[in-house]
Amino acid sequence: MSKIQMVDLKGQYSKIKTEVDQAINEVIESTAFIKGPAVHRFQESLEKYLGAKHVIPCGNGTDALQIAMMALGLKPGDEVITASFTFIATAEVIALLGLTPVLVEVDPDTFNIDPESIRKAITPKTKAIIPVHLFGQCSDMEEVMEIAQEHDLFVIEDACQAIGADYTFEDGRKQKAGTIADIGCTSFFPSKNLGCYGDGGAIFTNDDELAKQCRVISNHGMQIRYYHDMIGVNSRLDSIQAAVLDIKLKHLDEYAKARNKAAEYYDRAFKDHPKLKIPTRFEKSTHVFHQYTLVVKDIERDALRAYLQENDIPAMIYYPVPLHLQKAYLDPRYKDGDFPVTEKLSKSVISLPMHTELDENQLSLITTTLLKFLDNE
Ligand SMILES: *Cc1c(COP(=O)(O)O)cnc(C)c1O
């Protein structure tokens, strides 16, 4: 059996190696490294896959979020509501732009932003909401969009972990994660569900004007070369990454299936154990399992992780410290105890190996090892 990894990029690459190597070589031969035809091709493929009017490729997911906020014209002092339980990038760019991050609680079952908490956090200064589709399933977008409409707020979806997930509205309409709000953002970091071989990201929007703003901002605020109409940034997806992504996009749905298959294996093994809570499936979204995250009860979580590690099974804690308790983000508005759901999750979640190449032998070893630890507790 091959070594168990959190993410097996090598195994995945070996199955598409011929195609990928050829595509990379074509870019090298063409020397069109920046803004080459491969970027445009991938942009069009992704627009088609998502059913989005515009995809604007950029340097990474963090940049995508920053460019989105700049394109919406958010100004220092504006309040932006986001989830307290997420990766730091979301709050980081809010802070970098001089905006005020307003953190709210998440749902204990789906780990996604809690709409009731959003309502309570709205003030006259609130300008935008950023729901994060954590671990691979969509936030309650219909609720979030309703709140935004009532209060005239922008919505930016952080879809960095959920590309390909489908959200179903009350009326049966389905839309892809990231294409529902004013702007959606994603990351092509290698370990993401659609990962490239370096850094990459993209912005999605159905609004022509916002798309234009995002394009101009991501290219030094420049429409005509060397004429700068606004302050921008330099954030591009390079051609080699785009060529890799265009190939991997064709496999994205099949990758999601492989991840779901592994998740179902884990579910079967763990669902009846009183000390484990398997991931809740949100009825309005499909799950693309960026992570398979258990919540443990009455267990020394760190001892479990150490035991798995001793048995050559990696496990990760996403995320050990909620945003409001991160040193760089300490703020007199918040204190320990303000977000009990988030704080409890950060102490009790554990993510197991999740990728497209897990086989039954590996899954069997992971599940039996974990259950053995619980038996000895
Ligand atoms: C990965 C990630 C980002 C940032 O993406 P990068 O490409 O690493 O900059 C932002 N938000 C969430 C939720 C992520 O998982």
In tens, the pLDDT along 97-137 reads 999 999 999 999 999 999 999 999 999 999 999 999 999 99
What lies within 8 Å, CB to CB, of 354 at 6+ separation is 6, 7, 259, 262, 263, 289, 290, 291, 292
pLDDT digits (tens, 9 = 90+) for 20-43: 999 999 999 999 999 999 999 999
pLDDT digits (tens, 9 = 90+) for 183-231: 999 999 999 999 999 999 999 999 999 999 999 999 999 988 889 989 9
Say if 1 falls within a structural domain.
no
> Ligand 1 within 6 A of 62 CB?
yes
> Ligand 1 within 6 A of 87 CB?
yes
Same domain, 14 and 119: yes
Same domain, 218 and 145: yes
pLDDT for residue 238: 97
Ligand 1, atom 6, lies closest to the CA of 61
Query: What's the chain's average pLDDT?
Result: 97
Boundaries of domain holding 304: 252-375
Q: Which of 193, 217, 249 is the last residue of a domain?
A: 249
pLDDT for residue 1: 82
Domain count, the chain: 2
Q: Where residue 354 sits, what CATH number does that domain have?
A: 3.90.1150.10
* pLDDT exceeds cutoff 90 at 292: yes
Same domain, 199 and 140: yes
Same domain, 123 and 258: no
pLDDT for residue 376: 84
Same domain, 98 and 234: yes
pLDDT for residue 187: 98
pLDDT for residue 350: 98
The end-to-end CA distance of the chain, in Å, is 28
Instruction: Identify the CA nearest to 117 among candidates 147, 159, 137, 79.
Output: 147
* pLDDT exceeds cutoff 80 at 377: no
pLDDT for residue 199: 98
Q: Which of 249, 270, 305 is the last residue of a domain?
A: 249
> What is the token pair recorded at 138?
């969509």
pTM of the full structure:
0.97
Say if 187 falls within a structural domain.
yes
Per the listing, tokens 């709409």 go with: 115
Same domain, 261 and 160: no
Instruction: Identify the CA nearest to 180 among candidates 151, 221, 213, 146.
Output: 146
Q: Where residue 198 sits, what CATH number does that domain have?
A: 3.40.640.10
Say if 239 falls within a structural domain.
yes
Say if 139 falls within a structural domain.
yes
> Ligand 1 within 6 A of 187 CB?
yes
Question: What 3-state class would DSSP assign to 252?
Answer: helix
Same domain, 156 and 199: yes
Same domain, 226 and 119: yes
pLDDT for residue 327: 92
Say if 2 falls within a structural domain.
no
pLDDT digits (tens, 9 = 90+) for 67-104: 999 999 999 999 999 999 999 998 999 999 999 999 99
Same domain, 186 and 241: yes
Same domain, 282 and 325: yes
Same domain, 157 and 204: yes
Q: Which of 215, 249, 283 is the last residue of a domain?
A: 249
Same domain, 79 and 208: yes
CA of 87 to the centre of ligand 1 (A): 7
pLDDT for residue 168: 98
319: preceding bond cis by omega (within 30 degrees):
yes
> Ligand 1 within 6 A of 160 CB?
yes
Say if 4 falls within a structural domain.
no
- By percentage, how much of the chain surpasses pLDDT 70? 100
φ and ψ at 16, to 5 degrees? -125, 15
> Ligand 1 within 6 A of 291 CB?
no
CA of 375 to the centre of ligand 1 (A): 37
Say if 3 falls within a structural domain.
no
* pLDDT exceeds cutoff 90 at 270: yes
> Ligand 1 within 6 A of 144 CB?
no
CA of 160 to the centre of ligand 1 (A): 5
* pLDDT exceeds cutoff 80 at 139: yes
290: left (phi over 0), alpha (psi -120 to 50) or beta: alpha
Mutation probe of ligand 1 site: the residue of 139, 189, 323 with most atoms within 8 A of C-beta: 189
Mutation probe of ligand 1 site: the residue of 58, 187, 238, 293 with most atoms within 8 A of C-beta: 187
